[in-house]
């Protein structure tokens, strides 16, 4: 059995088994930096498939530029006469359908119209920012003019930092971005807007399952919520649970329809993987900064599981009592 994998933006590898025993294997990757694993490479076992003098030059380390120019992963598949190994992007298949059909491909149907086109979302662009790390309200002030033409029933129903948040409540300029979600009434029509520290501003239309967004609720507190910087100022004053080590803030979310009480939800973690506690997830009232709920999680091998919770500063309880 031969297992062959190739991701054009990441890596390529193969493993060859005979009678359930590994005979030869090779892996090469370039995300985030080039690397190679040839500890189990056995060229002699591949001689039955293709001439060795043609194969041996393919098992070297290479970066994305070499992958695009020399295509050693494709050459390996071609030499072994693998029946299917090329990835066709959906955009190419959509734009060149007639040519693919002429080549023997079979058209099964047409996909629904792209929601981004249907909703006529603004074009992606790069803009100048006042600073690369923004608070929630600063980012929203930049996004709002682009979304102004999406009038009611369109409305902002969720915003969040993806990646990391600074200790001041701003998106990390390198690995953090603000995302804003606009919904048409209580339908599954959604426009996602994201803004990165380098000024990249993107828009994407989506059609999602209404259950994934949540049940229809009355929008609460849209005009009065505390900015992310104000919330983090409160969080920095909270007493931290013991067991956390080198705390960082990851996701920070404000959902205007999730709860009857408007709350910022934050996930704080330990940089130290050997720390007693892995995560401290908290809910903070978005109107007055009160700590409402906390969940502590621990690391069990490669998994992180919740173990304790408490509500509004009461005694900690085992997480199993929630079930």
Q: What is the pLDDT of residue 145?
A: 96
| Rounded Cα distance, 278 and 270, in Å | 5
Task: Give pLDDT, residue 322.
Answer: 46
Query: Residue 151 has what pLDDT?
Result: 93
Residue 323: the pLDDT is 45
How many Å apart are CA 224 and CA 241, to the nearest integer?
29
Instruction: Provide the residue range defining the domain that includes 35.
Output: 2-79
pLDDT at position 217: 63
Q: So what's the pLDDT on residue 215?
A: 64
Query: What is the rounded CA–CA span in Å between residue 232 and residue 165?
Result: 10
CATH of the domain at 177: 3.10.450
Report, as ranges of residue numbers, the positions in the chain whose pLDDT lies below 70: 8-9, 31-32, 83-92, 111, 214-222, 321-323
Q: Give the whole-angstrom CA distance, residue 295 versus residue 289.
A: 17
Query: How many structural domains compose the chain?
Result: 3
d(CA 236, CA 233): 5
Residue 89 located in a structural domain: no
Question: Is residue 110 in a domain?
Answer: no
Q: Looking at the structure, do residues 176 and 261 belong to the same domain, yes or no?
A: no
Hey, what's the torsion of the CAs at 60, 61, 66, 67, to 10 degrees?
Answer: 90
Instruction: Flag whether 219 is in a domain.
Output: no
Domain end residue (candidates: 160, 180, 213): 213
Q: Using CA atoms, how far apart are residues 186 and 44, in angstroms rounded to an integer?
A: 62
């Amino acid at each position: 059995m031969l297992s062959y994998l190739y991701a054009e933006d990441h890596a390529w590898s193969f493993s060859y088994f005979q009678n359930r025993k590994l005979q030869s294997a090779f892996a090469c990757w370039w995300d985030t930096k080039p690397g190679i694993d040839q500890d189990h490479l056995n060229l002699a076992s591949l001689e039955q498939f293709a001439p060795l003098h043609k194969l041996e030059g393919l098992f070297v380390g290479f970066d994305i530029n070499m992958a695009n120019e020399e295509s050693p992963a494709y050459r390996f598949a071609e030499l072994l006469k693998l029946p299917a190994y090329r990835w066709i992007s959906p955009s190419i298949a959509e734009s060149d359908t007639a040519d693919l059909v002429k080549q023997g491909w079979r058209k099964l149907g047409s996909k629904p119209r792209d929601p981004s086109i249907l909703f006529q979302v603004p074009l992606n662009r790069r803009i100048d920012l006042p600073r690369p790390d923004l608070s929630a309200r600063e980012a929203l002030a930049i996004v709002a003019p682009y979304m102004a033409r999406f009038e009611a029933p369109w409305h902002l129903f969720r915003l969040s930092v993806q990646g990391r948040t600074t200790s001041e409540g701003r998106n990390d300029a390198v690995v953090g971005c603000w995302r804003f979600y606009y919904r048409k009434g209580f339908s599954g029509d959604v426009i996602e807007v994201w803004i990165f520290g380098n000024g990249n501003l993107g828009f994407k239309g989506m059609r999602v399952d209404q259950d994934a967004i949540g049940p229809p609720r009355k929008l609460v507190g849209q005009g009065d919520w505390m900015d992310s910087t104000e919330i983090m100022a409160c969080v920095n004053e909270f007493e931290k649970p013991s067991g956390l080590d080198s705390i960082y803030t990851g996701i920070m979310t404000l959902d205007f329809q999730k709860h009857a009480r408007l709350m910022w939800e934050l996930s704080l973690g330990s940089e130290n993987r050997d720390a007693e506690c892995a995560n401290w997830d908290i809910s903070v009232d978005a109107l007055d900064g009160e700590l409402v709920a906390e969940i502590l999680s621990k690391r069990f091998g490669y998994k992180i599981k919740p173990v304790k919770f408490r509500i509004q500063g009461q005694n900690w309880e085992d997480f199993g009592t929630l079930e």
